[in-house]
């Protein structure tokens, strides 16, 4: 097995690296006047750039420090942009061997001063739709392949190659999403992934300051955000701080040896999140968990390195301001340096007080998950992450639909999980879901049982938190992650030229497709007008024999949800829930839009009813 230090040492001096190019690049290449973050660290990259002298002559900008690091192809410039600085072009003067040249560093007018509506945040009134851009819709076939990029595949007959979906394809279907009831789009990463293969998912960045050209580049991303905002749809960007792709320019030509976590031999993360908070954990177990690599193709960034930290934090703020992002989903949250994450989150929230931040917390156990977010624990480490992707309620609804009822099994797991919400500062921020790009499609998970799937969707749109579905969940979309996760990342039928079926339209859907689509449409659009479901309190009752009942309510509206997870029909008596049903005389089924008197009724096996109570 090759020694990583040897590999990376060679990368410092390899002939075919970025370092041998004569062009100089500045990261970031621009900033904005009047930002709270006005002390920046500019990374200048180019052949033997450290042999140069630097100066900046621009009113309101001062160069306070020049750091020349191990690799002479990098220099870091600390600058301060004062409140007096005006929009314009600042010239960074570089003098190398008596030869002068300049890099333009633009100071722009910030979005707030232009009156833009952005960084709005995601809240419990929203409905999030997750899209993998390469697999959703191809709106511009001219960017399917980009000359010079390492992955030239374009083969929809295999799940391993690129398929050609792009940001223009999403723009083309914003009306469809708006009609469905979607209020926020979360896209799998859109940054450049110039890797040799498996580039469809987007999680192996190779340049933080470029939107992948195969998705349409910066121009298409600007157009998507603007078009979505014009329809009242927010944009959530997928942030990856923990790792980058092996072909990222800072890996191919590293600024310094400790830019990434180095090991004598390749060391994978253990995926044991317990080591992060375990009071009995060994130091090596914690180090392997946090500093180990995800894969050999994704080097693990050393967020404890202040140069790495500045690079990542500045890019996060730059992305929000440049594109008008409304919220962040943070990948692999537990694998990051959590002190760094607190600093990064704080910088974003200081700059944009309304912005939302939620992290991927693929762990098992409410304590595990809640440790990573704002919680009510009296412990030394206090996370400032606003919310998790709520895997714990996912495990609960999975058990409710697939396991027999018992004291600690079946729907009791879901009930118990929600009963532990007291640990969170604000559980209404938790993002709840049934599946995503890494998991079995829930419709397949429940054996394509329509009652179970529709019941689970009823739960998703009525439980506390922010509902999120994965593209195609509104149809009878199937797929398992075995033998590969590509089978849960299939194309949306009708999104690509030549598709025989167009499921964006009623005419292209099967009967099952449309039955589920109408179910999601009804729940999502009812929820948009329901104060009880968007903002209301929640009261749940102890499940009995597989029957689970809960209420969402405000002073003006009460919604009752009854879920039968048993294998037999159950009789529901409103008097049993008198604490919440007293005073009401009628109920409207929001799925069928039928109104009946408040009287006992029978609910079938694995069926769920959502009722708005009235007087």
Backbone angles phi, psi at 513, to 5 degrees: -50, -50
Q: What share of the chain is helix, strand, coil (3-state, %, to 5)?
A: 30, 25, 45
Determine the Cα–Cα distance for residues 457 and 468; give it in Å rounded to an integer.
10
Nearest alpha carbon to residue 302 among 357, 350, 255: 255
Which residue is associated with the tokens 């301001």?
321
How many H-runs (helices) and E-runs (strands) does the chain carry?
18, 26
Q: 């912005």: which residue's tokens?
A: 355
pLDDT for 538 beyond 50? yes
Q: What's the rounded Cα separation, in Å, for the pair 523 and 519?
A: 6
pLDDT band for position 499 (cuts 50, 70, 90): very high
pLDDT value of residue 18: 35
pLDDT confidence bin for 23, thresholds 50/70/90:
confident
Evaluate if residue 17 carries a pLDDT over 80: no
Cα-based torsion angle of the residue sequence 200, 206, 211, 212 in order, rounded to the nearest 10 degrees: -40
Provide the token pair at 204.
Answer: 């192996």
Q: Which fold has domain 537-614?
A: Immunoglobulin-like (2.60.40)
Q: State CA 372 to chain mean position distance.
A: 16
Task: Dump pLDDT digits (tens) for 208-238.
Answer: 999 999 999 999 999 999 999 999 999 999 9
Residue 3 clears pLDDT 50, i.e. is over it: no
Contact 298, 243 (CB under 8 A): yes
Active-site residue, from 200, 253, 331, 473: 331
pLDDT of amino acid 435: 98
Mean pLDDT, range 371-377, rounded to an integer = 98
| Dihedral in degrees, nearest 10, Cα atoms 409, 411, 413, 414 | 170
What is the distance between the alpha carbons of residues 592 and 216, in angstroms, rounded to a whole number?
A: 42
Tens of pLDDT, residues 472-498: 999 999 999 999 999 999 999 999 999
Interval 25-48 mean pLDDT: 97
Q: Domain limits of the chain?
A: 4-114, 128-529, 537-614
Strands (E), 2-152: 25-27, 30-33, 39-45, 52-56, 61-68, 74-81, 88-96, 99-109, 128-131
Among candidate residues 473, 368, 351, 592, the one with its CA nearest the CA of residue 359: 368
Tokens representing 332 are 């692999």
Residue 303 among the catalytic residues: no
> 319 near 328, Cβ under 8 Å?
no
Looking at residue 388, what is its pLDDT? 98
CA separation for the pair 254, 258 (Å, rounded): 9
* Dihedral over Cα of 187, 193, 199, 203: its sign: negative
Backbone dihedral angles phi then psi of residue 447, each to the nearest 5 degrees: 70, 25
Q: List Cβ neighbours of 193 (8 Å cut-off, separation of 6 or more).
A: 199, 202, 203, 204, 205, 206, 212, 245
What letter does residue 110 receive in the DSSP assignment?
P
Catalytic residue flag (residue 331) = yes
Q: What's the CA gap between 460 and 522, in Å, rounded? A: 13
Q: What is the pLDDT of residue 70?
A: 97
Task: Report DSSP letters for 290-314, one per residue.
Answer: HHSBSBTTB-BB-TTSHHHHHHHHH
User: What pLDDT band is residue 180 in, cutting at 50, 70 and 90?
Assistant: very high
Under CATH, which number does the domain 4-114 receive?
2.60.40.10
Rounded CA-CA distance 574/499 in Å is 49
> What is the side-by-side strand order in the sheet with 99-109?
30-33, 99-109, 88-96, 52-56
Do 4-114 and 537-614 share a fold?
A: yes
Q: Is 141 left (phi over 0), alpha (psi -120 to 50) or beta?
A: alpha
What does the pLDDT read at residue 1? Answer: 38
Is the pLDDT at 44 greater than 60, yes or no?
Answer: yes
pLDDT surpassing 60 at residue 7: no
Read off the pLDDT of residues 413-472 as tens digits, 9 standing for 90 and up: 999 999 999 999 999 999 999 999 999 999 999 999 999 999 999 999 999 999 999 999
- E strands in 199-268: 207-211, 234-239
Instruction: Quote the CATH superfamily of domain 128-529.
Output: Glycosidases (3.20.20.80)
* pLDDT of res. 441: 98
Any bridge partners for residue 58, and if so which? 61
| DSSP annotation of 273 | T
Q: What is the mean pLDDT of the chain?
A: 95
**Which residues, 6 or more positions from 592, have their beta carbon under 8 angstroms from its beta carbon?**
none
CB 408 within 8 A of CB 363: no
Task: Name the phi and psi angles at 98, rounded to 5.
Answer: 65, 10
* pLDDT above 90: residue 289: yes
Catalytic residue among 273, 360, 435, 513: 360
What confidence score (pLDDT) does residue 6 get?
33
Q: Give CA–CA dist 21/338, Å, rounded.
A: 36
Q: Which of 550, 400, 433, 348 is nearest to 126 (CA)?
A: 433
Tokens of 268: 């994978």
pLDDT tens digit sequence for 587-615? 999 999 999 999 999 999 999 999 999 99
CB 470 within 8 A of CB 485: no
197 has pLDDT over 60: yes
Instruction: Give residues with Cβ within 8 angstroms of 6, minimum separation 6.
Output: none
Q: Are strands 558-564 and 547-553 parallel, antiparallel or unpaired?
A: antiparallel
pLDDT of residue 9: 40
Q: Are 396 and 423 in contact (CB under 8 A)?
A: no
Taking the CA atoms of 167, 172, 178 and 182 in sequence, report the sign of the dihedral they define: negative
DSSP codes, 427-460: GGG-EEES--TTS--HHHHTTT-HHHHHHHHHHH
For residue 483, with 0-12 CB atoms within 10 Å meaning exposed, 13-18 middle and 19 or more buried, which class applies? exposed
């Amino acid at each position: 097995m090759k020694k990583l230090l040897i590999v990376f040492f060679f990368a410092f001096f390899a002939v075919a690296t970025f370092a041998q190019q004569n062009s100089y690049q500045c990261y970031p290449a621009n900033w904005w006047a009047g930002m709270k973050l006005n002390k920046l660290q500019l990374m200048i990259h180019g052949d033997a750039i450290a042999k140069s002298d630097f100066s900046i002559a621009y009113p309101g900008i001062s160069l306070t420090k020049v750091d020349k690091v191990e690799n002479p192809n990098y220099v870091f410039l600390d600058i301060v942009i004062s409140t007096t600085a005006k929009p314009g072009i600042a010239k960074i003067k570089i003098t190398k061997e008596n030869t002068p040249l300049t890099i333009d560093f633009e100071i722009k007018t910030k979005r707030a001063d232009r009156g833009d509506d952005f960084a709005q945040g995601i809240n419990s009134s929203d409905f999030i739709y997750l899209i993998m851009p390469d697999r959703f819709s191809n709106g511009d076939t001219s960017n399917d392949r980009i000359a010079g990029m390492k992955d030239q595949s374009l083969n929809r007959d295999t799940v391993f190659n690129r398929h050609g979906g792009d940001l223009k394809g999403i723009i083309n279907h914003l009306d469809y999403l708006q009609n469905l009831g979607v209020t926020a789009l979360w896209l799998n990463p859109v940054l450049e992934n110039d890797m040799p293969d498996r580039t469809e998912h987007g999680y192996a960045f190779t340049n933080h300051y470029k939107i992948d050209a195969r998705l349409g580049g910066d121009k298409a991303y600007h157009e998507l955000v603007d078009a979505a905002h014009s329809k009242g749809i927010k944009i959530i960007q997928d942030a990856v701080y923990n790792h980058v792709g092996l072909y990222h320019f800072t890996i191919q030509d590293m600024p310094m040896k400790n830019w990434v976590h180095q090991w004598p031999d390749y060391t994978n993360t253990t995926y044991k999140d317990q080591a992060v908070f375990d009071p009995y954990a060994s130091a090596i177990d914690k180090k392997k968990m946090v500093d180990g690599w995800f894969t050999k193709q994704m080097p693990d960034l050393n967020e404890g390195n202040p140069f790495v930290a500045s690079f990542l934090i500045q890019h996060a703020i730059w992305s929000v301001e440049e594109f008008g992002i409304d919220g962040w989903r943070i990948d692999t949250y537990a694998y990051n340096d959590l002190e760094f994450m607190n600093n990064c989150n704080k910088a974003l929230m200081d700059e944009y007080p309304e912005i939302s931040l939620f992290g991927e917390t693929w762990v098992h156990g409410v304590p595990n998950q809640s440790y990573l977010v704002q919680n009510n624990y009296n412990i030394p480490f206090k996370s400032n992450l606003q919310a998790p992707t709520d895997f714990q309620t996912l495990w609960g609804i999975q058990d409710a639909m697939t396991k027999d009822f018992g004291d600690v099994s079946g729907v009791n797991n879901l009930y118990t999980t929600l009963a532990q919400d007291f640990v969170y500062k604000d559980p209404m921020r938790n993002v709840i879901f049934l599946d995503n790009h890494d998991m079995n499609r829930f419709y397949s998970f429940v054996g394509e049982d329509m009652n179970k799937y529709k019941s689970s969707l009823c739960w998703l749109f009525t439980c506390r938190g922010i509902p999120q579905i994965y593209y195609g969940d509104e149809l009878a979309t199937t797929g398992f992650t075995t033998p590969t996760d590509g089978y849960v990342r299939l194309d949306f039928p009708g999104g690509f030229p030549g598709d025989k079926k167009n499921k964006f339209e009623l005419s292209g859907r099967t009967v099952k497709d449309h039955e589920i689509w109408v179910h999601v449409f009804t729940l999502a659009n009812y929820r948009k007008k329901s104060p009880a479901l968007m903002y209301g309190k929640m009261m749940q009752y102890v499940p009995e024999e597989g029957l689970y009942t809960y209420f969402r309510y405000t002073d003006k509206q009460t919604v009752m949800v009854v879920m039968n997870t048993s294998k037999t029909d159950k009789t529901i008596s409103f008097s049993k829930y008198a604490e919440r049903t007293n005073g009401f005389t009628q109920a409207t089924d929001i799925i069928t839009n039928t109104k009946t008197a408040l009287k006992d009724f029978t609910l079938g096996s694995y069926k769920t009813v959502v009722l708005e109570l009235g007087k």
